[in-house]
Amino acid sequence: MGWAKTTKAPISMVAVQVFTTGMMLLSRVALSEGMFVFSLLAYRHAIGSLFVAPFALFLERDMEVKLTFKALLWVFLNALFGITMSLGFYYYGLRDTSASYSSNLLNLIPVVTFIIALTVGMERVDLESKSGKTKVLGALFCVGGALVFGLYEGEVLHIWPAHSHAAPRRAGMENSTKHRLRGTVLLICSCFSFAFWFITQAKLFKVYPSKYRATMLTCLAGTFQTIIIGVSVNQGKDAWGLKWDLQLLTILYSGILNTAATFCLISWVVSQRGPTYPSMFNSLAVVFTTILESFFMGQDITVGSLLGMAMIFGGLYGFLWGKNKEYAMQRRAAGGERSAPLEVMQSQSAAVVPVLDKELKLHSCF
């Protein structure tokens, strides 16, 4: 019984990373075959809102929270940054690069959020302390790793024998990787959108502290936003039509597992192990995606990608170590009362779990 209790949290987080890996690989193939990004976003979050709705209706039925105009405004902004912009940029960047490349760059989200929070005064750095120096060095390593990852390829590592690939590399994927620079810019824009999303979440939960209802409303708002933008860009039946194919599987998989299931799993783990715990598993999605995409889709693994990945991993864990030390010091100084840290974690594709304020609960639509 004791073993089961101690393994539930890590097994849940490994499951989240497996869900994220599957979402990235399925989305990569679907987008390379011409799937319209905004139809994917609209259908995915409509399904996600349906699966989160029971939690909002039953688990929070006793909560008396008024949905004011101010709360609706923050819901709109939350959906704009957290779904329409962040995932829109992400999917277009994923289409231009690869699943492993995009999942690795998403590790920059904590650092980008830290930089923005530092700029607006929500975060401070004590360069005299070891934790403060580690945070800054970690951020620099992450940025350096992203530059290496995006600008330097180096020698291709032929890890698998040519005959071991289960399927040849698809033509759409070969053509899309020619736009690597454009894809990198789009993925960086996605990181900034996610960072602003965390800040809007802090504002939303101050005026509407109902995590499941807020998630459901955000998904609904994101659905309408992406439909409006998508229809203005492409009104063709082929872009919005659904068939029993890989595109429908991608939509169902992303909506059920990467919006609803991931949110519930991470919310439970954070309540059991604290906000830093889920972020320690983020690198698994990058490792899983890199290996599977290389083996099944023929995606090249280069010296530059491995070097950039190692720098981002090292910088991210150094940054999170420094944040965790500061958080522990704040709690001791407050006599054990939870203070207001800035912790940012990724769950998906990608789900990302922010802790920006003591009023901020958990919220993830990735």
pLDDT in tens, 327-356: 777 777 776 544 433 333 333 333 333 333
Measure the CA–CA gap between 32 and 152, rounded to whole angstroms: 24
Quick one: pLDDT at residue 279? 65
Pairing of strands 301-302, 343-348: unpaired
pLDDT at 226 over 90: yes
- Alpha carbon separation from 306 to 152, 162, 202, 228, 303 (Å, rounded): 10, 20, 35, 40, 5
In tens, the pLDDT along 263-278 reads: 778 877 876 776 556 7
Quick one: pLDDT at residue 80? 95
- The confidence band for 122, taking pLDDT boundaries of 50, 70 and 90, is low
Q: Quick check: 138 and 322 in contact, CB under 8 A?
A: yes
pLDDT at 130 over 60: yes
- The confidence band for 87, taking pLDDT boundaries of 50, 70 and 90, is very high
Supply angle C-alpha 263, 268, 274, rounded to 5.
110
- The confidence band for 361, taking pLDDT boundaries of 50, 70 and 90, is very low
Query: Across all residues in the chain, what is the average pLDDT?
Result: 78
Mean pLDDT of 65-90: 92
Q: Which two tokens stand for residue 351?
A: 């789900």
Mean pLDDT of 219-243: 92
Q: Quick check: 108 and 143 in contact, CB under 8 A?
A: yes
Mean pLDDT of 237-251: 88
Dihedral of alpha carbons 194, 134, 285, 353, sign: negative
Mean pLDDT of 197-206: 83
- The more confidently predicted of residues 211 and 225 is 225
Helix axes 303-333, 130-151, angle to 10 degrees: 160
333: exposed, middle or buried (Cβ count in 10 Å: 0-12, 13-18, 19+): exposed
Q: Which range, of 160-174, 303-317, 345-359, averages the lowest pLDDT?
A: 345-359
Residue the block writes with tokens 């101050």 = 206
Q: Which two tokens stand for residue 63?
A: 């909560």
3-state helix, strand, coil in the chain (%, to 5): 75, 5, 20
Mean pLDDT of 109-116: 79
Quick one: pLDDT at residue 91? 94
Quick one: pLDDT at residue 363? 39
pLDDT at 191 over 80: yes
Read off the DSSP letter of residue 106.
G
Measure the CA–CA gap between 28 and 46, rounded to whole angstroms: 21
Measure the CA–CA gap between 33 and 249, rounded to whole angstroms: 14
